[in-house]
Amino acid sequence: MSEPERPDAQHVTYRSTSGIEIRQAYGPDDVEGLDPATAIGEPGAYPYTRGIHPGGYRTRPWTMRQYAGFGSAEETNQRFRYLLDHGQTGLSVAFDLPTQIGYDSDDPMATGEVGRVGVPIDSIEDMEILLDGIDLGAVSTSMTINATAAILLTLYQAVGNRRGTESHRLRGTIQNDILKEYIARGTYIFPPEASMRLVTDTFAYCRDEMPAWNTISISGYHMREAGSTAVQEIAFTVANAIAYSDAALAAGLAFDEFAPRLSFFFAAHNDLLEEVAKFRAARRVWAEIARDRFGASDPKSMAMRFHVQTGGSTLTAQQPDVNVVRTTVQALAAVLGGAQSLHTNALDEALGLPTPASARLALRTQQTLAAESGVTATVDPLGGSWYVESLTDELSVAARAEIAAIDDRGGPLSALADGYQQDAIADAAYEAQRAVESGERVIVGVNAFVDESPEAGPQPQAIDPELEARQVARTRALRERRNADAADAAVAALETAAAGTENVLPRIRACVEASVTLGEIGHALRRVWGEHRP
């Protein structure tokens, strides 16, 4: 076992993970006038620094989600029911890689990937199995899907309608954030212009068809996981929100028509107080932009609603039980920062898919915070802390400067075409790794407090090796028994709409209702729009 050397506090500069210098102590002079553009304000009021609801968690507890999806639709449905039975209050669906990039399970491109990192959904039949026995009018469902988000949305809607749940009662979120795919994650299909059209078509479709649905979850999470700082996470996420808003305005939508259904998605990492300040700063920055840049008049357009997931990249394969502590710290940051929903990672996710037992413990972590910690008794418990308020101000100022730098480059699309965000994240990731390898940043069990004789770690969730063959057979059988003429007509109508200016989502919905598969829809749009080649 090794312990890091303790530096002489008088001669060392302490910095947050974003590089902000941390003073030895803070007082009132540190929060007066640093950011004169905005005051601290009150909970539930502009600029929403202290939260979007006046009563905080007293009146509306956060939604407890556990991200799940693996193997098959049947297995994932069993996991959903297990989590709901143990107190989860919302579903969060992980899809496998072929589903994310628009391939059916029997496509040669999908070989070896079916059901590995999420659930395969090829057709309306798969979606019905996935949601079997779950009341879609009573549960909120988040689907982490981007390039094929419009297809999964209409599949969900079609299943709900088949069961008698009207579209206006369906509640949930599709991630639908394609810009961060070009910046940090890579599961894109179409060129940016076509992808942005899908996003704005979804905005318009849900405004009329599914008004309770969150049409996008603008994600800083994946950029943080790729190595961005907290400042970059705020700035790049809000810059992408600006780009989506500009595109929707250009498509003829009014800001206050679509902005109330925008939602955001952030990571929670280990620097507890910087993370709390980050969430407070993000709300403030978005409120200012919504009001001052876009002229929002609806308070809901200015109030940033966000989901938080604890940081997967912070988990270690070494001494995995310690991940429970990391996740608890991160979940506490999300709660103290006023998140609307939260997913807590399981201790074994650095090794593989979580088991039912580790997923239950992750959920119990949230329940303990909610029921036993006392942090829900008052709104914004750290509001007024000289350190937290100073850090909130500094993060706000730095994020605005980064957004201005992106504006100077012509906006997020032009900046990412030049590699600006990608390079900035890569530089930050390099610096973070350098700090770990030099010992400046301590990772328990990795570069300090190492267990010289580690015990065997937990066994991750097993995946049935036969599932791929069964999934392929089910998809091919669906194609054999469907009405081929109706399916072909639906695909032809979709291609015509994609080649013109018609909203494509009603055509996608007609396709899924005719049992056209996700891959067939994806290939139809590829034929019209092409594929993105960076």
| Closest to 312 measured CA to CA, from 370, 362, 264, 277 | 362
Token pair of 162 as six digits: 């088949």
> Which are the contacts of 285, defined by CB distance < 8 A and separation ≥ 6?
234, 238, 396, 399, 400, 403
- Tens of pLDDT along the chain (534 residues) come to 455 555 555 567 888 888 888 888 888 888 766 555 556 889 999 999 999 999 999 988 998 887 767 779 999 999 889 888 888 778 889 899 999 999 999 999 999 999 988 999 999 999 999 999 999 999 999 999 999 999 999 999 999 999 999 999 999 999 999 999 999 989 999 999 999 999 999 999 999 999 999 999 999 999 999 999 999 999 999 999 999 999 999 999 999 999 999 999 999 999 999 999 999 999 999 999 999 999 999 999 999 999 999 999 999 999 999 999 999 999 999 999 999 999 999 999 888 878 888 989 999 999 999 999 999 999 999 999 999 999 999 999 999 999 999 999 999 999 999 999 999 999 999 999 999 999 999 999 999 999 877 666 677 667 777 899 999 999 999 999 999 999 999 999 999 999 999 999 999 999 999 999 999 999 999 999 999 988
Q: State the Cα–Cα distance between residues 495 and 502, nearest whole angstrom.
A: 11
Tell me which residue of 141, 149, 201 sits closest to 171, measured CA to CA.
141
Domain covering 9-60+175-438 assigned CATH 3.55.40.20 in the classification:
no
The domain segmentation of the chain, as residue ranges, is 9-60+175-438, 472-529
Residue from 370, 470, 363 nearest 92 by CA: 363
Instruction: For the beta carbon of residue 474, count every other beta carbon within 10 angstroms.
Output: 19
Question: At how many degrees (to 10) do helices 518-529 and 484-499 cross?
Answer: 30
Could you tell me the two tokens for 118? 């999420």
Q: Give backbone dihedrals phi and psi of 431, rounded to 5 degrees, phi first.
A: -65, -40
Which of 324, 325, 331, 323 is CA-nearest to residue 275? 331
In this structure, are strands 216-219 and 262-268 parallel, antiparallel, or unpaired? parallel
CA dist list (Å): 452 to 278, 321, 333, 448: 37, 16, 32, 11
Contact, 272 vs 332, CB < 8 A?
yes
Other beta carbons within 10 angstroms of residue 514's beta carbon come to 18
**Distance in angstroms (rounded) separating the CA atoms of residues 501 and 129:** 34
340 Cα distance to chain centroid: 13
pLDDT tens for 132-177 read 999 999 999 999 999 999 999 999 999 999 999 999 999 999 999 9
Burial label for 477, CB within 10 Å (0-12, 13-18, 19+), is exposed
Q: How far is Cα 47 from Cα 41, in angstroms, rounded to an integer?
A: 7
- Contact of 154 with 218, CB cutoff 8 Å: no
**DSSP H or E stretch at residue 265:** strand 262-268
Instruction: Kindly report the pTM of this predicted structure.
Output: 0.90
Instruction: Tell me the longest C-alpha to C-alpha distance in the chain.
Output: 78
The three-class DSSP label of residue 5 is coil
Whether 198 contacts 150, CB under 8 Å: yes
- DSSP conformation letters of 217-248: EEESHHHHHTT--HHHHHHHHHHHHHHHHHHH
